[in-house]
Structures are given as C-alpha cells and as structure tokens.
C-alpha cells in the first residue's frame, strides 16, 4: 500500500509504501506519479452501523489519493458536499438506476410523481432527484418505502437482472434465489445509504493535479466509470510525456521525509497496547455523523473539529497494528482522519444550504455561490480554504 507522496521544490518525485505481507517499506523514485485510489468511504457510519461492511462499495477505498495529495500540498475540491446512494435496505448495493420498478408507500401509492408502472426507459428517478426523500417517509412514520417491480414485462425483467449483476449485485441475486424472493412478486424495501464525501482531487483537462508530476484518474478526481476509464488513458499519456522531459534526480534528497514515514509505520507496528484501526475508525465516524452529518451549523462544526483534532492526536500516539493487514487499515484510517478534517473546514466555509449540505444557521442557498466550489490546500502546514470556479 502506498501511503504518502514525496516531493521536492519542483514537484512530486516518488512515493512511499508498505508491503501488505511482510514487514518491509518501499520507496518509489518516479518522475511522474498517477493516482487512482477510487472513492472515499468509511468516513461516515455504514447503513448498518455495527456492520462496517454493509456498504455498497469497498472498505479499502478510503480516499488515500486525496489525503496523500493534500498532505503534499495539492488542491482538494468540495469535500463538504455529501452524496447518498439509494438501494435495498441493509443489503447495500450500487445500481439504483438499474432497478425497473416504482417506489411505493405501504399502501401501494407511488411516492414520486414520475412513474406509476415499471418503465425500462425512466426507471423511478425519485431517488435521483432527492434520495433522502425515502428517509423523510420513515421519519414521518409514513414508511417504509418499497421498490415495487410488479407488473414488469418479461423482457425488462431479464434486462434488469442482467445489468444488476454488472452493477455488482450478483450476491444480492444469489441471496434472493436462496430465500425465494422474486422481484416480480415481492416488493423490496429501499433506503438512502450513508453519507459519502464528494471531495475530489483538482485536475485539469490533462489529468494533472495542482502539483507538478502528479496525475489522477477515476473517482478520486471525477465521478463515474466512463470518465474514470477515459482519464486513465489521458493521465497515462500526459504523465509519460511529462516524465520524458523531466531531468534525472535522486529521491535520496528526500531522505529525511522518507525516514519520517518509516518511523510512523514502525511506531504503529511496535506498539503492544492501544486502540486498533477499527476503534479509531469508529470514533471518527461518530464525530463525522454527529457534527458534520445531515445537520450542520457553525457551533456543531466548530465543536466537531475540536473533537476530531483531539482524536487525531490520540490516534497518532496510540494506534497499534498486530500485523500487516491491520497496519494497512491503520494507514487508511490516518488518511480518513485527514479527510474528515477537510470536510469540517469546507463545511464551515460553505455558509449556505445546498443539496445535502444542510446548514441550520444558513438555511437558504446563496446565489452568489452558484458555480463555485470550496478548494483546500496546505501551505506551510496550514490549510488554506477558498472558493474557486467549479470545473
């Protein structure tokens, strides 16, 4: 696992990582580095809080590229923007738009105004418009809300089941077969899932980040599999072109920085008592949910930031790993702590309500912030938060 970047005055010159199987650290000397570390999860409690793996994505995608970029001085955009997917309650899976059915209340009434019968072309786009609409039903006692595929044509059913597999739902389909659940007969309860931070690494049209020699592709810099695939090529071509022009250098000039990373890893591995990664991660999740969750305000965000910083200090001096697997999770958790801090900073800066970023002290949307994104970078060890044109 690569967990930090190395830079000199010119730009990125390599990275440091650990072996996930043996007690070894690696130093990579590189004229250019391409990040592709995917989504940012495990920052907020999972849909089943006691079951961390009850998320639709990977537990190992913890915003590592974003955190590495930020620590190296690169720009991160929009970490305060929350995103929530919708899907089967508790059995969290992606692919909400693949379902062909109607979201209905317990009486069988459609909850949205868009469709009244299963429609392959439109699906039920109610959660696309406002996913937490389903949560409002539960909170008001009008729930639960069901995805009702009854009335679907045979052709559409086959189409939906085919593409649900491609959306990563094969275990769900296997489970339904085993349990005798047939979507043509049984409406399945839906819910909005946990909060995911939309924060991205800023890149330009060449997939270059704000740091020379550092490129990024995929969910960490833009959403969706199409842009991810396209920008993998673009990042590769431009990183190669940059590397060809870059003069030779020696990563050993960064020996002090390398030693600091080695010490960090050795400290975590050598401790025989203290919280493990999971304890630290859960502590972080509860602070994120309660102080930068669905309800946000100046007082909540300020208090939450203080608690988070205290937690960071404790984790930095006490977190332990019993083996390389746990060490990897520990390094992910350190990245999550940095990302949590960025959420607090950006959420405090965005003094308005917009989408799922809901400020009780600023309940209106500020039209002056239309088309503007919060960007954060570290300068001389301190975060600089500003608004920039959204791209």
Partner 1 sequence: MPPIIDPTKCTGCGICVDMCSEDVFFGSEKGKVPVVTYPEFCVHFNCCVYECPQRGAIAVRIPLPQMLLYKEEGM
User: Would you tell me which residues interact with partner 1 (CB under 8 A)?
Assistant: 20, 48, 50-55, 57-60, 88-92, 144, 146, 168, 170-172, 174-176, 179, 181, 185-189, 323-325, 328
3-state DSSP call for residue 297?
A: coil
Rounded to a whole number of angstroms, the minimum distance from the CB of residue 207 to partner 1 is: 24
Report the residue number, 181 or 229, with the smaller CB distance to partner 1: 181
Residue nearer to partner 1 on the CB measure, 265 or 347: 265
Query: Which DSSP category does 357 fall into?
Result: B
Q: How far is the CB of 178 from partner 1 (least distance, A)?
A: 9
Shortest Cβ distance from residue 176 to partner 1 (Å)? 7
Q: Which is nearer to partner 1, 53 or 247 (CB)?
A: 53
Q: Which is nearer to partner 1, 36 or 144 (CB)?
A: 144
- Give least dist CB 74 to partner 1, A: 26
Sequence-distant (6+) residues with CB within 8 A of 379 are 73
Please say whether the beta carbons of 37 and 220 come within 8 A: yes
CB 222 to partner 1: min, Å: 21
Q: Min. distance of Cβ 128 from partner 1 in angstroms?
A: 22
Q: Which is nearer to partner 1, 175 or 233 (CB)?
A: 175
User: Is the Cα torsion angle 224, 171, 133, 160 positive or negative in sign?
Assistant: positive
CB of 269 or CB of 297, closer to partner 1: 269
| Cβ proximity to partner 1, 20 vs 302, nearer residue | 20
What the block records as the tokens of 290 is 């309660």
User: How far apart, in whole angstroms, are the C-alpha atoms of residue 110 and residue 116?
Assistant: 6
Write phi, then psi, for 146 (nearest 5 degrees): -115, 145
CB of 48 to partner 1, least distance (A): 5
Instruction: Report the distance separating Cα 232 and Cα 388, nearest Å.
Output: 25
The structure tokens listed for 82 are 């929350």
Give strand ranges (E) for the chain.
Answer: 2-7, 12-18, 25-29, 33-35, 76-77, 82-83, 86-88, 102-104, 145-148, 188-192, 196-197, 200-201, 214-216, 372-379, 382-389
């Amino acid at each position: 696992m690569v967990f930090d970047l190395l830079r000199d005055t010119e730009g990125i010159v390599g990275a440091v990582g650990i072996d996930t199987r043996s007690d070894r650290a690696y130093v990579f000397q590189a004229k250019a580095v391409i990040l592709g570390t995917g989504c940012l999860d495990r920052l907020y409690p999972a849909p089943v809080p006691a079951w961390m793996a009850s998320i639709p994505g990977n537990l190992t995608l913890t915003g590592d590229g974003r955190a590495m970029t930020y620590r190296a001085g690169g720009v991160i955009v929009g970490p305060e923007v929350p995103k929530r997917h919708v899907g089967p309650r508790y059995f969290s899976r992606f692919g909400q738009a693949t379902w062909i059915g109607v979201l209905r209340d317990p009486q069988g009434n459609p909850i949205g105004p868009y469709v009244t019968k299963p429609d392959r072309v439109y699906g039920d786009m109610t959660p696309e418009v406002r996913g937490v609409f389903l949560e409002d039903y539960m909170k008001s006692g009008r729930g639960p809300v069901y995805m009702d595929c009854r009335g679907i044509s045979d052709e559409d059913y086959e189409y939906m089941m085919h593409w649900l597999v491609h959306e990563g739902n094969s275990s769900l389909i296997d489970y339904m077969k085993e349990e005798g659940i047939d979507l043509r007969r049984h409406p399945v309860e839906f819910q909005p899932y946990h909060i995911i931070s939309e924060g991205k690494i800023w890149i330009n049209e060449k997939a270059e980040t704000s740091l020379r020699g550092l490129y990024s592709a995929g969910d960490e810099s833009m959403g969706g599999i199409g842009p991810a695939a396209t920008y993998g090529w673009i990042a590769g071509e431009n990183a190669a072109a940059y590397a060809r022009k870059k003069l030779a250098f020696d990563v050993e000039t960064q020996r002090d920085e390398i030693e600091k990373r080695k010490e960090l890893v050795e400290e975590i591995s050598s401790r025989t008592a203290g919280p493990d990664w999971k304890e630290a991660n859960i502590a972080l999740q509860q602070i994120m949910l309660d102080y930068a969750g669905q309800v946000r305000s100046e007082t909540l965000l300020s208090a939450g930031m203080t608690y988070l910083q205290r937690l960071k200090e404790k984790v930095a001096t006490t977190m332990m790993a019993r083996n390389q697997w746990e060490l990897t999770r520990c390094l992910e958790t350190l990245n999550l702590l940095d990302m949590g801090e960025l959420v607090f900073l950006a959420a405090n800066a965005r003094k308005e309500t917009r989408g799922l970023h809901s400020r009780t002290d600023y309940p209106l949307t500020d039209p002056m912030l239309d088309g503007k994104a919060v960007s954060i970078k570290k300068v001389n060890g301190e975060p600089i938060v500003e608004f920039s044109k959204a791209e």
